[in-house]
Structure 1
Amino acid sequence: MKRGKAWVMALLCGTFFFAGHADAATIHTVKRGDTLWKIAKQYGVPLKQLKQKNRKGDLLYPGEQLVIPDAGITAAEKDLLARLVHAEAKGEPYAGKVAVATVVLNRVDHPDFPDTIRDVIYERSGGHYAFTPVANGTINEPADRESYRAVEEALAFRGLGNGSLYFYNPKTAKSNWLRSRPVTVVIGNHVFAK
């Protein structure tokens, strides 16, 4: 009889342990009008990762609970990325701001570039910084609200785009190598390429 009680207690303790573990994760209860895209943007997590974590297709049901995966990006990294977006894409369409943030995230995910947002933004090659705002100091200016929104959207979009790794303004870019890269999209005054 003692063995049976011990097994029941172990089962109960294990259940409480796992329940406690689940509480540590961020849980989102689906409301009417929610979409996976909106939820991914709200939490700043990749849509692809949100679907994988919850083994989801595209259908959601009100009351359903979703586990929100860890985005793997700190508030400081989001701020730095938003400041880069603000400095690089000031005056550009919103889609261009999202695309600039996406280039940085694509570089983080690509084996030929550094593994963190900070290291990608401050990367030097041939004695020059990869991004003009780092060289001229405008990276230190505060970002506007739209730049933060663009970062959240780029995070939600992460892993779903066309793989842009570079962008440039064709009116000011001097690099023939950069101009030789396959163009993925043109938004405003920026050409995006891979």
Structure 2
Amino acid sequence: MKHLKKITLAFTLTASLAFTAFIPNADAATQHTVKSGETLWKIASKYGVTLNQLKTTNKLSSNTIYPGQKFTIPSTTGVSAADIDLMARLVHAEAKGEPYAGKVAVATVILNRVASKDFPNTVSGVVHEKANGYYAFTPVQNGEINKAADAEAKRAVNEALAFRGQGSGSLFFYNPKTAKSDWIFSRQVTVTIGNHRFAK
């Protein structure tokens, strides 16, 4: 009987250790080892965190980094995975065929609206905002928002998250060739990228 208990205990311990080996290490997703050619900006963009978050979390006083350095990636950006996907789908629909910088700028407009007291304070609220029977963004109105985002749109959203709080405060974008509202032309233009003008 004692022998059977020992075998059972050994089996339980082995099974427990084997099971533990397959559980992802919670810290693995939050650690990053710097590779040659990487910059803080590239690392922040890769993980969709702001430069300031990355620097603060790792107690960095400058932007100088070295290959082999290990960084802890902040666990929260204040934006959920579902919101990041929603933003990427909007960027994909709104900025298809536009330069990459324009895609980042569209994502930045969404984040700037979330931060502004004049708009809803969530990504979903901003994307689905409605006034006078119309959605703020055409792809929400026509259903294009429901199409999957491509890799470039996802990367643009991560870059916008890293860039958050450092831009020129754009709250709007429009194509001057197709815009129908006189009001939008009254807004202060911050930058023109591709076919889009960005304004505040």
User: Please, what TM-score do these two structures have when normalized by structure 2?
Assistant: 0.80
CA contact under 8 A between 1:48 and 1:160: conserved in structure 2?
A: no
Asked if 1:174 corresponds to 2:190, the answer is no
The answer to whether 1:92 aligns with 2:92 is no
Gap runs ≥5 in structure 2: 1-25
Deviation at 1:170, TM superposition (A): 0.7
CA distance in 1, matches of 2:36, 2:194: 35
Look up the match of 1:4: none
Structure 1 gaps of 5+ residues are: 1-21
**1:169 Cα offset (Å):** 0.7
Q: Residue 118 of structure 1: SS of its match in structure 2?
A: helix
CA-CA distance at 1:147 after TM superposition: 1.0
Does residue 47 in structure 1 map to residue 51 in structure 2? yes
Q: CA deviation at 1:23?
A: 4.7
Equivalent residue letter for 1:91: G
Is the Cα contact below 8 Å between 1:44 and 1:153 reproduced in 2?
yes
Task: Give SS of 2:166's match.
Answer: coil
Aligned partner of 2:161 in structure 1 is 155
1:137 match? 143
Matched residue type, 1:33: G
Report whether the alignment pairs 1:117 with 2:123: yes
The structure with the larger Rg is: 2
Identity %: 67
Q: Structure 2: how far apart are the matches of 1:158 and 1:171?
A: 29
2:130 & 2:90 partners in 1: Cα distance?
Answer: 15
Aligned residues: 173
Counterpart mapping for 1:65-80 below 5 A: 65-69=70-74, 70-80=76-86
1-side partners of 2:33 and 2:148: how far apart?
33
